[in-house]
Amino acid sequence: MTELTPGYLAWASLQIHQTAERHWREYGTTPIKVILFAADGTPVLVKFDQGIGQDAAAAAVREHATRAGAVAIAMTAITTTFDAEIPAPPHSVPPGPLPGPPDGMRIVGEVTRSVTTLTVWPQRDLAKAWTSDIRASADAIATLAAIAESDTADPSQAAGLTSWLAGLLPDSSGPSTS
């Protein structure tokens, strides 16, 4: 590779997502994977133990990103989204680990589980998200829905995660706290 391009990063992001889908179909789960991209397009898999916690995972990613000279990052995982009612107006959340749900929170509406891949290239203001919803039938058989694609022009449900991922890259404009 000679240079990372938006087209190559979008293609690589889709390949990463399709690999996560195949893993889900075979094993019923998808482990969290983080792939960094150097300016020349070289992908680097970040290796860390699953379940190590957000702070330790962020430190491992930052270390690898600095060594690799990473300019872009992709992460794939199973996500859960839902609408919630909270008893008081939300307060500003300080930087740091994601807070737990507030006391009195009540889930309203549908809970959606998805295989999700989010790719961020802060220097090019590029973010791409791929999602495949996990649908369960009445007999508890789960299947993946077709891949849905979104980019920065779409309303982002992943704005916080996009910012967090960007902050893991060296010399990025995103926050540097985990």
Question: pLDDT band for position 44 (50/70/90)?
Answer: very high
Which residues partner with 70 through β-bridges?
A: 38
pLDDT digits (tens, 9 = 90+) for 107-157: 666 677 888 899 999 888 888 888 888 887 777 677 777 777 776 545 456
φ, ψ at 23 (rounded to 5°):
-65, -45
Query: Rounded to two decimals, what is the model's pTM?
Result: 0.76
Q: What pLDDT score does 133 carry?
A: 86
Q: Is the pLDDT of residue 178 over 70?
A: no
How many Å apart are CA 87 and CA 107, to the nearest integer?
12
DSSP H or E run through 106: strand 106-121
Q: Is the pLDDT of residue 164 over 70?
A: yes
Which residues partner with 126 through β-bridges?
A: 121
Q: Is the pLDDT of residue 73 over 90?
A: yes
Q: What pLDDT score does 96 carry?
A: 58
Q: What pLDDT score does 176 carry?
A: 39
Question: pLDDT band for position 37 (50/70/90)?
Answer: very high
How many Å apart are CA 168 and CA 95, to the nearest integer?
13
The domain segmentation of the chain, as residue ranges, is 6-167
Question: pLDDT band for position 52 (50/70/90)?
Answer: confident
How many Å apart are CA 98 and CA 34, to the nearest integer?
18
